[in-house]
Chains A and B, each alone.
Chain A
Amino acid sequence: MVAVAAPRQLPRKPLILAGIVLAWLVLWLVFRNVGTLPLDASALTPLHRMINELNDAVGASRNSNPLFLYFFNEIRLVIDEFVTFVQALIAQPSFGRPVPVIGWLGVVAIAGFVSLVVAGWRVALLAVAGFVFLGLQGLWQESMDTLSLTLAAVVISLLFGIPLGIWAGLSDRANRVMQPVLDFMQTMPTFVYLAPLTLFFLIGPASATIATLIYAAPPAIRITAHAIRSVPHNTVEASESLGATRKQTLLKVLLPSARKTIVLGVNQTIMAALSMVTIAALIDAPGLGKTVVKALQTLDVGTAFNAGLAIVVLAIVLDRVTTAATERRKLPRWALFGGLGVTGVCVYLSYTYLWAAEFQSDVEIGSSIRQGATAVTEWAQDTLPFITGGFKDFVTFALINPLQALLAESPWFLVALVIVAVSFLIGGVRSAIVSAVCLGLLVATGLWQDSMITLASTLVATIMVMILGIVVGVWMGRSRRADRFIRPILDAGQVMPAFVYLVPFLALFAASRFTAIIAAVVFAAPVAIKIIADGIRAVSPTTVEASTALGSSSWQTIVKVQLPMARGALTLAANQGLIYVLSMVVVGGLVGAGALGYDVVAGFSQGQLYGKGLAAGVAIVVLGVMLDRLTQAAAKRWTN
């Protein structure tokens, strides 16, 4: 009904919106710094203390409460065992040996052989080179820890994800139940479930693996279900008409037809897992992530860069191998057995001899990389401040500060009223209610002012994402050549785990809100750009041609035809951009973003701030849900 009435009301809405903002500004001047609900960095609310007590109580009853004894502890134990086993194989000294079961030579050989079988010899070469490079960086053991955790999480994710995906693909009812859960899991900012998990599973590899599972399993489920569902109905019908049983149809028609897409889902799962495993360093997961976090905390850009580079190398290798695996290929028999033999010999050598087990090399390039990165950082900080500093100051004073002042220095009820009113304008009563509930929850967390500061940064980052998205997206959408050139860069950007983005910007801009915002923009921009580029490209060529035939300039075609027609893509890009930006809030907390991000990070490291950190996590989720609902309501209204 709203959609029907929309065309008549629309012209008046911008006016009402402007009126609201104007009223806000006036009231802001009057009520400035009244009722802003601030909370000191070390101050706690009763809620936070209660969660602390809950945490203590849970800690005390961990070995007596049956729920823990027979449920959570069991899960933790099984996963711990599994992770420890994988680590024992390739990463950690084990079984009374001073080195892992399979040393570097064996791992490199296995990586090369597996890549050869599933992805061909080019990719195999890349894999071998990549793994050797990890060793040369002096990060072999850290890399193997990260790889172990990733593999363990991926195996468990797929063990559950693929059958669940098949089920959701076959049964409409299962699909209806799973879709909203998956939606929620994917809109939830990545890092917030770390804290509640530690409540149940302690900190360490088990929690890290479970967090990774939660993050990495949804793509596997979703893509598998999608793959099964997109097998053409008539193919399935043809199989049925020939008298195939359900099992035969599944095994001979659905799964083979869906194979390529399912492998794509495996790829997504692996990349998500790698990204999350590095983040899980926040809750004491071993590996490269830990090296990065420690280096970030001591502002040691050189070390952070070296470890970040290792993550990127690992990401590229894993991505190339699984992407290439979507193509069917057949290896000649001699290559298969030859490769198997060589791998066997390498594994044996690495099991037996120390030189093949421990990566020791005279050509240690890790320290050179560290020194180089540090030198570049110092040079950049010494020589570029008038450019980087100017940009930083401009954005800070022109955008961040005013918006933050407006949001965080207004009385809370004023901000709440404005947001509810805007929600009503965009999405009607339902949106208004959702926003009101979310705002109430924000107040309840006791972190209102921090939430507003984070909201300000998030909005600034999203605006920058949209500017970048529209400029680059339109360019890509209009020029095939630009698309061919830029798309691989965006793809590579999306493959990189979130952490890695921080390093270069930390070097350029030092720790500040601005650094966190820029990192979030770089993290979120590829998605937005791709969505907008696809939206522009999807505008019917006939319409564009007609516009050109009427004598429009390129600018007129873009502004009057292509952008309006791609507005569905624009709102979707804004929605995804927001979600991605929000998921970087916690990471930003590591480099001076303050507010909610800092609260979460501090909660991990200091016991008495645990409750506050958890509340901050909830606040991020609530912000996420509110912004997601709002942008989706806007998208719905615009596309109808």
Chain B
Amino acid sequence: MDPVISVGNLWKVFGSNASQVVASDELKSLPRQELMERTGAVAAVRGVDFDVAPGEMFVVMGLSGSGKSTLVRCLTRLVEPTAGTIMFEGENILDADAKRLRDLRRNKFSMVFQHFGLLPHRTVADNVGYGLEIRGVPRAKRGERSQEVIDLVGLTGYEKSYPDQLSGGMQQRVGLARALAGDPDVLFFDEPFSALDPLIRRDMQSEVIRLHREVGKTMVFITHDLSEALKLGDRILIMRDGQVVQVGTGDELVGAPADDYVRDFVKDVPRSHVLTLKWIMRPPRPDEELDGPELAPETVVREAVRSVLSADKPVKVVQNGELLGVVADEEILGVVAGEA
């Protein structure tokens, strides 16, 4: 399937001499700190490449200062990228003029912000309808559509409230509804739940998973929280100092970290919750009997524990009738014990 978004060699350099920096291979190869000392420029995003498939939940994860927020702003050109390409449905967004860009923002993608960005002088319904209003949608139709998305995010009954009368979680639901109201193809989330309490954050994460399932939209989600990334992401991109360190599914990151940075990152993740059997299976030994139970390679370790430990023979990992390997007590216990 063709990707919805395809980012190629994207650079964002802050500073008056930004274009010189990206024009020079030598400067581009310098580490951030050194570049700053030599030119005064700050390279926030450095040669980032990735694709997002239609309907995918793509998570960009990094610590503060890693450039992830700048990256997501580059995708909608809220921050103007310095160099590179951003192909969106076959069109390079960087070539769009102001009018085309506005059209794209009005119809194709929308964004949910960390600090909500709601208009304090408007009611919930008017906040949700704001995007439609600036498109010129007539009032009656606007009201109808607003009500739909308000119901969708579970804010029914709060239409007439003002943002300052709502809790943080509810305010972010308004932000979510506003983003959904224009029926965009892609939703961008910029650390939307970082400002929320842990319990509410969990609720909102489930809410996003539910919405993703129901509306099936492509989503790009920025976070600094690894467990949030693992919980939501179909694939996760780890960023550090403006560069991509690794892109992969959750079990790939945990099972095969690209470098020590990622390894250190995923160290505290409960591995049995993330790893699948394909990461711990081994070839059968010659003396082993191969008539035990069968499991698929995508089975998460946690869910295989009971069957493996209760079987008196190694469990076979089988895909399409082909034997990929076996898992026995010691492999399972290795993962589970490693966590303690």
Contacts and interface: CB of A to CB of B under 8 A. Distances in A.
Interface of A: 232, 234-245, 248, 252-253, 256-257, 259
Nearest to B111: A241
A19 to B, nearest CB: 45
Contacts, number: 69
B121 A256 contact: yes
Contacts of B340: none
A91 B168 CA distance: 55
Contact of B104 (A237, A243, A248): A243
Contact of B103 (A234, A235, A237, A243): A243
A235 B117 contact: yes
Interface string B92-128: 0000000001111111001101111111111000000
A239 B76 contact: no
A403 B144 CA distance: 77
B106 A238 contact: no
Interface string B126-148: 00001101110000000000000
A235 B119 contact: yes
B78 interface: yes
A280 B53 CA distance: 72
B178 interface: yes
A23 to B, nearest CB: 48
A85 to B, nearest CB: 36
B325 interface: no
24 contacts: A232-B117, A234-B113, A234-B115, A236-B117, A238-B116, A238-B178, A239-B119, A242-B106, A242-B110, A242-B130, A243-B103, A243-B104, A243-B105, A243-B107, A243-B131, A243-B135, A244-B102, A244-B134, A252-B130, A252-B133, A256-B119, A256-B121, A257-B119, A257-B120
A242 B118 contact: no
A242 B134 contact: yes
B121 A245 contact: no
A587 B338 CA distance: 83
B134 A243 contact: yes
Interface centre among B76, B78, B107, B134, by most chain A C-beta atoms within 10 angstroms, is B134
A235 B119 CA distance: 7
Contact of A234 (B102, B114, B121, B130): B114
Interface residues of B, number: 30
A253 B105 contact: no
Q: Which of A235, A236, A243 has the most chain B CB atoms closer than 10 A to its own CB?
A: A243
A257 B102 CA distance: 23
Contacts of A256: 119, 121-122
A252 B113 CA distance: 19
Given A232-B117, A243-B102, A243-B103, A238 B111 contact: yes
A242 B188 CA distance: 12
A253 B119 contact: yes
A234 B119 contact: no
A231 to B, nearest CB: 9
B182 interface: yes
A234 B192 CA distance: 12
A238 B176 CA distance: 12
A232 B133 contact: no
Contacts of A240: 78, 105
A244 B130 CA distance: 9
Contacts of B117: 232, 234-239
Interface of B: 76, 78, 101-107, 110-111, 113-122, 130-131, 133-135, 175, 178, 182, 188
Nearest to B131: A242
Indicate the member of A238, A253, A257 with the most B CB atoms within 10 Å: A238
Given A238-B113, A241-B76, 7 more contacts: A234-B116, A238-B116, A239-B134, A242-B131, A242-B178, A243-B102, A256-B119
A609 to B, nearest CB: 55
A248 B182 CA distance: 17
A253 B130 CA distance: 10
A257 B122 CA distance: 10
List of 10 A-B pairs having minimum Cβ-Cβ separation, nearest first: A238-B117, A243-B106, A243-B105, A242-B131, A234-B117, A241-B111, A243-B102, A234-B115, A244-B134, A256-B121
A259 B118 CA distance: 16
A259 B130 CA distance: 18
B118 A237 contact: no
Nearest to B103: A243
A240 B101 CA distance: 10
B52 to A, nearest CB: 18
B110 A235 contact: no
A47 B259 CA distance: 80
Contacts of A259: 121
A215 to B, nearest CB: 31
A322 B115 CA distance: 32
Nearest to B126: A252
B170 to A, nearest CB: 17
A242 B182 contact: yes
A244 B178 CA distance: 14
Contacts of B131: 242-243
A233 to B, nearest CB: 9
Most A CB atoms within 10 A — which of B114, B116, B117, B119?
Answer: B117
A492 B178 CA distance: 45
A248 B131 CA distance: 11
B279 to A, nearest CB: 39
Contacts of A252: 119, 130, 133-134
Contacts of A257: 119-121
A232 B102 contact: no
B157 to A, nearest CB: 23
Contacts of A248: 134
Contacts of B120: 257
B78 A239 contact: no
A241 B105 contact: yes
A545 to B, nearest CB: 27
A242 B119 contact: no
B74 to A, nearest CB: 12
A245 B101 CA distance: 10
A329 B215 CA distance: 40
Contacts of A253: 119
Nearest to A260: B121
Contacts of A241: 76, 78, 105, 110-111, 113, 188
A244 B119 CA distance: 14
A33 to B, nearest CB: 59
